[in-house]
């Protein structure tokens, strides 16, 4: 019971702080869009801006280990954070949340008379929270890329069949589907910038697959590289790959639907059946107790 109370307290506090910071950042961005040009230059203080500057300063004061920078940078890029200051912000958030959660755990242990093991558990939670949030962002971005890739391929087929090259088709897709599938369009925009900077197309395509970290994107890159190498029809290859992705998505949906019956056994057994027994057997038991107990006592 003590551990449950402490965990609920920490989760509610962290969720409330995250919601408040996110709402404040939304308000700041909305005010920035509606502000005029002179007013946009003024810096408005907000909790999100103060938090960002604080974690950035802490991260710059205590830099990350050079061995961890490469892997951390790759994870941040896959999560959609390409700002060079993202590593400092991540490190600052980890270093700041650790003592904050430790103080919260100590306060909860003192206030509710909990076990002292709550304090190191809270410190570990604060240290691991940014990493787990980053993994969640990576998984969500991968899912968005997998979901929007067939539609992107259909538009690329239309662009290629209309006479555009693969580079111009990628640029046109990045412009047209920016609001529908922003994750894929951002990756295509970065690929276009790499091509303009002088990188070879094969290298830019491999960088695209490495940045996204999605298996379907790697397969698409392999198809484009082979098409470019052997000179086959790009439109036909893209159309066939789009059909393959849709078939694979349908098979994954059917697999999840087939697993649903097994997953519903435990909720039905522990949640539905007890209430069903109470509704059906409860009145019978009540009548038996009311009618039989006096008869048994009189005997």
Longest dimension (CA), the chain: 101
Q: Are residues 18 and 95 in the same domain?
A: yes
Q: Are residues 20 and 136 in the same domain?
A: yes
Would 156 be classed as within a structural domain? yes
Would 104 be classed as within a structural domain? yes
Q: Are residues 73 and 202 in the same domain?
A: no
211 has a pLDDT exceeding 70: yes
Query: pLDDT, tens digit, for every residue of 38-92?
Result: 444 444 556 666 767 777 777 777 766 777 788 888 999 999 898 888 888 888 8
Structural domain total, the chain: 2
Give the structural domain span for 26: 2-140
45 vs 181: which has the higher pLDDT = 181
pLDDT of residue 135: 93
pLDDT of residue 18: 63
256 has a pLDDT exceeding 70: yes
Query: pLDDT, tens digit, for every residue of 14-27?
Result: 666 666 556 555 55
139 has a pLDDT exceeding 90: yes
Mean pLDDT over residues 91-114, rounded?
A: 85
Name the band, by pLDDT with cuts 50, 70 and 90, for residue 238: confident
pTM for the full predicted model: 0.72
Q: Are residues 133 and 7 in the same domain?
A: yes
253 vs 297: which has the higher pLDDT = 253
Cα-only R_g, the chain: 28
Cβ-based neighbours of 224, under 8 Å, separated by 6 or more: 166, 205, 234, 237
Mean pLDDT over residues 181-200, rounded?
A: 91
Q: Are residues 27 and 62 in the same domain?
A: yes
pLDDT of residue 21: 56
Would 71 be classed as within a structural domain? yes
Q: In this structure, are residues 109 and 115 in contact, taking their beta carbons and an 8 Å threshold? A: yes
Cβ-based neighbours of 208, under 8 Å, separated by 6 or more: 187, 188, 190, 191, 217, 221
With 0-12 / 13-18 / 19 or more C-beta atoms within 10 angstroms meaning exposed / middle / buried, residue 163 is exposed
Q: In this structure, are residues 216 and 149 in contact, taking their beta carbons and an 8 Å threshold? A: yes
Q: Are residues 95 and 150 in the same domain?
A: no
CATH number at residue 212: 1.20.81
- Identify the domain boundary among 107, 140, 173: 140
Please state, in angstroms and rounded to a whole number, the distance separating the CA atoms of residues 165 and 167: 5
Q: Are residues 43 and 135 in the same domain?
A: yes
- Identify the domain boundary among 98, 123, 140: 140
Q: Are residues 213 and 172 in the same domain?
A: yes
142 vs 297: which has the higher pLDDT = 142
- Identify the domain boundary among 140, 166, 195: 140
Please state, in angstroms and rounded to a whole number, the distance separating the CA atoms of residues 227 and 223: 6
How close are the terminal C-alpha atoms of the chain, in Å?
A: 47
Would 290 be classed as within a structural domain? no
Mean pLDDT over residues 234-247, rounded?
A: 87
pLDDT of residue 188: 92
pLDDT of residue 6: 54
Would 88 be classed as within a structural domain? yes
pLDDT of residue 45: 56
Name the band, by pLDDT with cuts 50, 70 and 90, for residue 141: very high
Compute how many other C-beta atoms are within 10 angstroms of the C-beta atom of residue 33. Answer: 8
Percent of the chain whose pLDDT exceeds 70: 81
Please state, in angstroms and rounded to a whole number, the distance separating the CA atoms of residues 72 and 178: 27
């Amino acid at each position: 019971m003590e551990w449950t109370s402490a965990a609920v307290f920490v989760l509610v506090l962290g969720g409330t702080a995250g919601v408040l910071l996110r709402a404040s950042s939304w308000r700041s961005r909305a005010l920035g869009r509606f502000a005029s040009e002179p007013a946009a230059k003024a810096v408005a203080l907000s909790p999100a801006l103060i938090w960002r500057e604080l974690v950035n300063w802490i991260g710059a004061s205590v830099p990350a280990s050079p061995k961890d920078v490469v892997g951390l940078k790759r994870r941040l890029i896959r999560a959609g954070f390409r700002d060079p200051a993202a590593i400092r912000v991540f490190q600052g958030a980890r270093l700041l949340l650790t003592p904050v959660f430790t103080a919260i755990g100590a306060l909860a242990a003192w206030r509710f008379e909990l076990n002292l093991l709550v304090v190191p558990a809270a410190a570990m939670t604060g240290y691991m929270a940014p990493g787990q949030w980053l993994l969640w962002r990576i998984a969500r971005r991968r899912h968005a890329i997998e979901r929007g890739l067939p539609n992107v391929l259909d538009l690329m087929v239309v662009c290629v069949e209309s006479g555009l090259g693969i580079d111009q088709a990628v640029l046109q897709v990045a412009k047209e589907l920016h609001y529908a599938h922003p994750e894929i369009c951002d990756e295509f925009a970065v690929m276009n910038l790499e091509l303009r900077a002088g990188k070879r197309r094969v290298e830019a395509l491999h960088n695209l697959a490495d940045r996204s970290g999605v298996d379907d994107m790697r397969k698409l890159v392999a198809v484009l590289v082979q098409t470019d190498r052997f000179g086959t029809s790009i439109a036909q290859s893209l159309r066939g790959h789009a059909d393959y992705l849709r078939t694979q998505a349908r098979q994954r949906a059917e697999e999840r639907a087939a697993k649903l019956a097994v997953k519903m056994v435990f909720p039905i057994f522990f949640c539905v059946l007890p209430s069903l027994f109470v509704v059906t057997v409860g009145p019978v038991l009540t009548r038996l107790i009311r009618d039989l107990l006096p008869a048994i006592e009189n005997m």
